[in-house]
Amino acid sequence: MLFLANSSCSDILPILRLLRKGVIPLIQIVIIAALVVLLIIDFGKAVMAGKEDEIKSAQKLAIKRVIYAVVVFLVPFIVNVALGLLANATGSNDASTANAEKTSALACWNQAR
């Protein structure tokens, strides 16, 4: 979508662009890097100790960390779904409100591409 100067989301559009193109991808990269480093450290300690109990506890911790990382990695998808549901719940299909689609939260989020 093109940037519209008279759009109701023109005030927050720079913030949404910063979030969508800067902050969210940076968080995703940092989460993946931190996950890899922490998994290497945890499994390295467990293998060096050589105890079966420590290896099992490291595996349980690794599974939890992978689940947390996947949830954080999917934040953009979750935000898109939430904004889509919000736009559908507040939107109107009336012909007199033709600009409702242009001013919805989902439209503002999509404009930030």
Side-chain-facing half-sphere of 63: CA atoms under 13 Å:
5
Per-residue pLDDT, 38? 92
Q: Look at phi and psi of residue 35 and say left if phi exceeds 0, alpha if psi is from -120 to 50, else beta.
A: alpha
Tens digits of residue pLDDT in 72-111: 888 878 877 887 777 676 655 554 455 555 556 677 777 8
In the chain, domain spans: 10-73, 74-113
Asked if residue 105 lies in contact with residue 83, where contact means CB atoms within 8 angstroms, the answer is yes
Mean pLDDT of 12-30: 87
Tens digits of residue pLDDT in 27-39: 889 989 999 999 9
Q: Which residue has the higher pLDDT, 88 or 48?
A: 48
